[in-house]
Amino acid sequence: MSRIGKKPVEMPSGVTASVSGQTIEVKGPKGSHSFTATDDVTLTIEGNVITVTPRGKSKRARQQWGMSRTVIGNMVTGVSVGFKKELEINGVGYRAQLQGNILKLNLGYSHEVNFEVPAGVTVTSAKPTEITVEGSDPQLVGQVAANIREWRKPEPYKGKGIKYKDEYIFRKEGKKK
């Protein structure tokens, strides 16, 4: 039995959902998302609760049960609260600046890195050394944050680079004489 699948998804106020066949559409203040479940699960809405139940005892039905419930839970969270990833830039002269839809990064290269922000995600830079990526889709938010971090990963000796705010960088000792 799926422990995750058993839990019903509660919809907060301001969020509505509708099921048509195997497709569920969730609408809220931060947008709308839809998800098409496989034929192995049944989706039902009762009041402000969405439940997912498996249609059989097969291994695939049990796998889809937990996965479908998690995806629907993330959709409800995304359209009501949203998802956020915070990045920190460490290093002398390393900084970020947002100009319109382009994030300009100075990361010690001979040129500026121009990162175009995709649709569905908002990127803000309150300080030159902090970047915040926000959106309603957790996969897209995480992918954009990872793409920004990819330009200069933190190195273990001085800790220079772009890291997640809650990330711990294992530091190494330098050369000895």
pLDDT in tens, 130-167: 999 999 999 999 999 999 999 999 999 988 999 999 98
Q: Which backbone phi and psi does 25 adopt, to 5 degrees?
A: -120, 130
Give the pLDDT confidence score for residue 1 in this predicted structure. Answer: 61
Question: Could you give the C-alpha distances from 9 to 24, 28, 50, 72, 144, in angstroms and in order?
Answer: 13, 15, 5, 7, 27
Average pLDDT value for the chain: 90
Give the pLDDT confidence score for residue 36 in this predicted structure. Answer: 92
For 177, other C-beta atoms within 10 Å of its C-beta total 2
Nearest to 117 by CA among 125, 109, 128: 125
Give the pLDDT confidence score for residue 174 in this predicted structure. Answer: 85
Give the pLDDT confidence score for residue 2 in this predicted structure. Answer: 67
Q: Of 2-11, 110-119, 159-168, which gets the smallest average pLDDT?
A: 2-11
| Rounded Cα gap, residues 97 and 74, in angstroms | 30
- 60 Cβ contact list (under 8 Å, min separation 6): 38, 40
Residue % of the chain over a pLDDT of 70: 99
Residue 12 has pLDDT above 70, yes or no: yes
Domains (range + CATH), the chain? 3-80 (3.90.930.12), 83-164 (3.90.930.12)
